[in-house]
A and B are shown apart, each in its own frame.
Chain A
């Protein structure tokens, strides 16, 4: 049972345009969401996160939007740069009252930014 879903395995975007990566989740216990970027043979790098009490968080070129009623979040990258080419993972954390902060990951979306 996949609780975090990234339905697009890959995405190609022209340099300078907007990249939009999508993520859906099913578990209502999730209340904190994170995006990670991963290059081959490296560990995931934390990009940006959002708490369920917010609907938007922005950090430079990266913005994450959360639609709690739809159980959907998205990562926007504007403008996209060739160095953004990587696999992007969406991850979710359960309510901290559960006692554990284990992350549940989607399968990732491979972003290719074309110069």
Chain B
């Protein structure tokens, strides 16, 4: 499967725990984006990364959220000390070097905070 892979598909956490969401971009893509979708809303941009670099984190909450895209391995979106308001669908997208404007999305991770 050459598409964008996200895991886990569903994640349940209790308040105060940590959530780690993983994303492997499409083969050949080096640009990764994370978006969050709340119920009945559109997707909201969080962060844009290239290998080992955060390019744009203007959509990331200032506290508890962090993202990385290491030289080897998937991109990780990490949420520390989760609260109920973090419950949402988190989507990862990737794009290639030539057609940077077109992003291809994974199936998402649905985070539920109890």
Contacts and interface: CB of A to CB of B under 8 A. Distances in A.
Contact of A102 (B4, B33, B104, B105): B33
Interface of A: 4, 32, 34, 36, 41-46, 49, 89, 91, 93, 96, 99-108
Interface of B: 4, 6, 31, 33, 35, 40-45, 48, 55-56, 58-59, 91, 93, 95, 100-108, 110
A103 B40 contact: no
B45 A102 contact: yes
A108 B42 contact: yes
Contact of B101 (A4, A44, A93): A93
Contacts of A101: 31, 33, 48, 95, 100-101, 103
Contact of B43 (A45, A99, A105): A105
